[in-house]
């Protein structure tokens, strides 16, 4: 009897989940701005607790099977009945996913901690703030505000006259753009992957930017002219002196060639020329 009772309870729980609208969470989950995964797990638990009575709350990256992560994210961003987006720390992936969500006429609520500045592009949307240190009393108040806002927004969305993010702006007609046929999810998945590559490149510039032999020669000539400049003799600290010389060379290269160059590579050339002078 006990086993049958447990089975019935589980079935009822699953049925309730199926009938609940979905709320996708777009938020940081890894370390950023000194806040680690444990912090973001706490924030996720707070949001879930505030909304779980009415919504089935999950990260947009969550999936029941071993699907390709980018496809899962794009699908959940588009398909979730409601989305709550935490723009704290201005995480690049979060902002990209938010941009996809705001491109469609579905309800989205923005939240952020009290240590994050407002983002110009999303200022027309109300942001619900919470305490970054997750102070108990502040968080209890935040949960009440979030629950009321999400429920009211979702109810309003189901009525006629819902105002989306795009409705805050004048209608703009763009002419002359090329029309590309294809699956919107595949397109957004590709764009998402490209963004991740760019972020990775910025995080590892030495492996991304290459210097040609010709450019090395130019750098060496600039470095040679700098290391013999007596004005740098007033800097007694060795590392600061090399840094100052490197900064001068980088500025000249940016002005004359408009190229992003790996700082450590340029610095090593400057240091070599200094030691050889």
Distance CA(196)–CA(223), nearest Å, equals 35
Q: Along the 277 residues of the chain, how does pLDDT read in single tens digits?
A: 555 555 555 555 555 556 899 999 999 999 999 999 999 999 999 999 999 999 999 999 886 655 556 778 888 999 999 999 999 999 998 999 998 898 887 899 999 999 998 876 666 678 999 999 999 999 999 999 999 999 999 998 888 656 666 565 555 554 555 565 666 666 666 766 666 666 555 544 444 445 566 777 777 888 888 878 777 777 888 888 888 888 888 877 776 665 556 777 778 888 888 887 7
Degrees (nearest 5) of the Cα angle 100, 103, 109? 80
Same domain, 66 and 159: yes
CATH code of the domain containing 171 = 3.40.50.450
Same domain, 184 and 153: yes
Tokens (6 digits) for 203: 């995080």
Tokens (6 digits) for 24: 């996708």
Same domain, 108 and 216: no
Same domain, 108 and 224: no
Sheet holding 127-130, edge to edge: 56-59, 22-26, 82-86, 108-113, 127-130
Work out the number of other CB atoms within 10 angstroms of the CB of residue 225.
13
* First-last CA distance in the chain: 90
Under DSSP, the state recorded for 124 is: T
Same domain, 121 and 226: no
Residue whose pair of structure tokens reads 């947009």 in the numeric block: 60
Distance CA(180)–CA(183), nearest Å, equals 10
Distance CA(253)–CA(259), nearest Å, equals 7
Same domain, 163 and 101: yes
Same domain, 225 and 115: no
Whether 158 is in a domain gets the answer yes
Helices (H) and strands (E) in the chain, counts: 10, 5
In angstroms, the Cα distances linking 159 to 21, 126, 163, 274 are 16, 20, 10, 71
pTM of the model: 0.57
Question: Which of these three, 133, 163, 191, is where a domain ends?
Answer: 191
The count of structural domains within the chain is: 2
Distance CA(241)–CA(232), nearest Å, equals 7
Distance CA(223)–CA(270), nearest Å, equals 5
Distance CA(53)–CA(146), nearest Å, equals 13
Q: What is the pLDDT of residue 81?
A: 94
Distance CA(210)–CA(196), nearest Å, equals 20
Degrees (nearest 5) of the Cα angle 35, 41, 44? 115
Same domain, 183 and 217: no
Same domain, 155 and 240: no
Whether 199 is in a domain gets the answer no
Same domain, 99 and 121: yes
Q: Which domain holds residue 80?
A: 10-191
């Amino acid at each position: 009897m006990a086993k049958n009772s447990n089975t019935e309870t589980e079935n009822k729980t699953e049925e309730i989940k199926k009938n609940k609208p979905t709320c996708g969470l777009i938020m940081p989950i890894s370390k950023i701005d000194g806040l680690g995964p444990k912090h973001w797990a706490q924030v996720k638990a707070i949001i879930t607790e505030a909304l779980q009575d009415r919504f089935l709350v999950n990260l947009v990256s969550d999936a029941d099977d071993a699907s390709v992560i980018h496809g899962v994210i794009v699908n959940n961003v588009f398909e979730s009945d409601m989305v709550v987006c935490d723009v704290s720390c201005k995480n690049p992936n979060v902002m990209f996913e938010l941009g996809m969500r705001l491109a469609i006429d579905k309800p989205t609520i923005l939240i952020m901690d009290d240590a994050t500045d407002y983002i110009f592009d999303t200022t027309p949307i109300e942001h619900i703030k919470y305490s970054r240190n997750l102070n108990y009393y502040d968080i209890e108040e935040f949960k009440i505000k979030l629950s009321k806002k999400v429920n009211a927004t979702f109810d309003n969305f189901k009525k006629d006259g819902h105002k989306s993010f795009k409705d805050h702006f004048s209608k703009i007609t763009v002419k002359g753009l090329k029309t590309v046929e294809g699956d919107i999810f595949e397109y957004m998945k590709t764009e998402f992957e490209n963004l991740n590559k760019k972020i990775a490149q910025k995080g590892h510039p030495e492996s991304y930017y290459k210097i040609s032999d010709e450019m090395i020669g130019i750098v060496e000539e600039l470095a040679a002219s700098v290391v013999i400049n007596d004005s740098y003799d007033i800097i007694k600290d060795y590392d600061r002196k090399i840094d100052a010389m490197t900064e001068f060379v980088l500025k000249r290269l940016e002005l004359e060639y408009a190229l992003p160059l790996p700082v450590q590579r340029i610095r090593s050339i400057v240091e070599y020329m200094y030691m050889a002078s």
